[in-house]
Amino acid sequence: MKKKVLSVLLTVAMTASLLAGCGSTGAADSAPAADASSDTADTSADASSDTAASGDVEEITWMFWDDLDATEDLISKGYKEVIDRFNSDYEGQYHVTPITTNLEEYYTKLNALVASGETPDVFIVSPGPNLTTYVEPGVAADLTSYLDADWKGSFSSDAVFAQQTYDGKIYAVPLNIAAACVFYNKEMFEEAGATVPKTWDELIDACEKIQAAGHTPITISAGTAWCLSMLAGYLCDREGVDLTKIESGEESCNNSKTIDAANKMIELSQYFQPTAAGDTNDVATAGLYNGEAAILIQGSWAIGQINGENPEFEQKCGVFQFPEIPGGNDPNRVIAKSDSLAMSSTTKHPEAAIALMKYFTDDTAQKYTAEVGGKIPVTKVEYDASKAPAQLADVMDIFTNASSTFGFYNESLFSTEAGSTFDDNMVAIYLGEKTPEQAFDDLDAWYAANKK
């Protein structure tokens, strides 16, 4: 009898322990965001947990696409300073723990957290379909009421909120603006006798000379598809493609301008590094600052990475605007993009989250953005241009002289998947898997099947 009782007790204990293992606890329910940080990602080492242990401290999480401790990127280092400053100034009141991941994995991990009901309190997001993904189902909070006169008035203009506004409501706060430009190695250009190209033919001529001098003319990433897609986007725009008409269905993807743009991309691809098909964005960018190639077509966010990884390269690095295609579109149009912060609509600490967002847009952070990071600030802050990276002056010239800006092609379509489909087809053209006609026909077919 005793044995039976004992065996039943043991079985009950075993069952209870098994169930305890797979169930979620009440504590997890009450602090989902804090839990997410410890389970899912690398947390910043110096986001001290001492203060978080205190019951009165409001603990929030902030998700970002770079490792704050390992990074050499100057913009990421600036964000780390903001986090440290916030935690220090609000010690005992608020505490933020960063959730960090690499850029390629960022949205996948963020989406996993969102789907499991553990959305970070504040998260970085690109405007366009990525932000729409979080606005439409109500994941991102409406920030309009938080943007009081003081805070909103500190921004350079209301136009900086254009891509973050849906039906008159603002769902994200921009942190900086970057323009897509062409970075080049001045020494290699000089050695090859090449001049800064203003037109398509001059670009091809410069590539020819650089190749003849024994250097790789262009470093680009097709492994990170949006990098190649950015080039394709520029070529399409320069050829005069009207993306809004394609997006609205008025024009087919397969038209003479897109085909010409794709053929030009094929022509230019003979000057790419041989490993472009699989190289990631980081590897391709390293190709420029390590002196392996002469040209990199990239957003001005790369300045922080270039100067952070190889400070000596700053003086060798020039910037020019993507060349004109004669007979095509206005050559002063520039691809621009901003990093933005969104707040979770389910956050239990909106005041703490807003306080953090204000730290990212205060004068200290915005001055750093320009003077160290090399990005264009979004506020009216006055910064010392002589302290800023050498490349920023060129970027500012391009940006201020731009007749208009437009978004990345893959971020200007109706969904993130539509953008990825565009990217994939551009890579397929580059790899020779599809002819331009096939690729754009496939895009038309995909849009017809998937656009709601």
Partner 1 sequence: MDKLLKDKKAIAVFVLPAFILFTLILFIPICQSIYYSFCDYDALTKPEFVGLKNYKNLMIDDTMKIALKNSLFFLIYSCVTQLIMGLILAGLLTNIEKGRNFFKNVIYLPCVLSSAALGLLWMFIFSPKLGINQILARFGIEGPLWLMDIKGYITLPMWVIAFVALWQYVGQSMMLYMAQISGISKSLYEASYIDGCNRVKSFWHITLPLIKPMVGTAMSLNAIGSLKFFDLIFNMTEGGPNHKTEVLATHLYTQGFKYFKYGYASAIGTVLLVLCLIMTFLINKLFKSENYEM
- Kindly list the residues in this chain that would bind partner 1 in the complex (CB under 8 A): 7-8, 11, 14-15, 18-19, 22, 104, 107-109, 111-112, 114-115, 133, 137-139, 222-223, 225, 274-275, 277-278, 283, 415-417, 420, 424, 427-428, 431, 433
Tell me whether residue 96 or residue 428 sits nearer to partner 1 (CB atom).
Answer: 428
C-beta of 58 vs 279, nearer to partner 1: 279
DSSP state of 122: E
* Distance in Å, CB of 145 to partner 1, minimum: 23
Angle at 209 between CA 206 and CA 213, to 5 degrees: 140
Between 107 and 184, name the residue whose CB sits nearer to partner 1.
107
Q: For the chain, how big is the Rg over CA atoms in Å?
A: 25
How many helices (H) and strands (E) are present in the chain, helices listed first? 19, 13
Is residue 100 within 8 A of residue 43, CB to CB? The reply is: yes
* Closer by beta carbon to partner 1, 12 or else 162: 12
Nearest distance from residue 171's CB to partner 1, in Å? 15
Least separation in angstroms between CB 11 and partner 1 = 5
Minimum Å gap between C-beta 433 and partner 1 is 7
CA dihedral 208, 211, 217, 220 (to 10 degrees): 110
Within a 10 A sphere around the Cβ of 380, how many other Cβ atoms? 12
Closest separation between CB of residue 8 and partner 1, Å?
A: 7
Query: Quick one: which of 116, 134, 148 has its CA closest to 39?
Result: 116
Residue with tokens 């205060």: 362
Nearer to partner 1, 115 or 162 (CB): 115
What b-and-e string marks burial along 190-203, b requiring 16 or more CB atoms within 10 Å of the CB? eebebebbeebeeb
Asked if 210 and 192 count as a contact pair (C-beta separation under 8 A), the reply is yes
Nearer of residues 404 and 452 to partner 1, judged by Cβ: 452
CB of 121 to partner 1, least distance (A): 17
Q: Least distance to partner 1 from the beta carbon of 216, Å?
A: 12
Q: Cβ(61)–Cβ(43) under 8 Å?
A: no
Is 64 or 107 the residue whose CB approaches partner 1 more closely?
107
Residue whose structure tokens are 């437009």: 406
Alpha-helical (H) ranges within 275-330 are: 281-289, 302-309
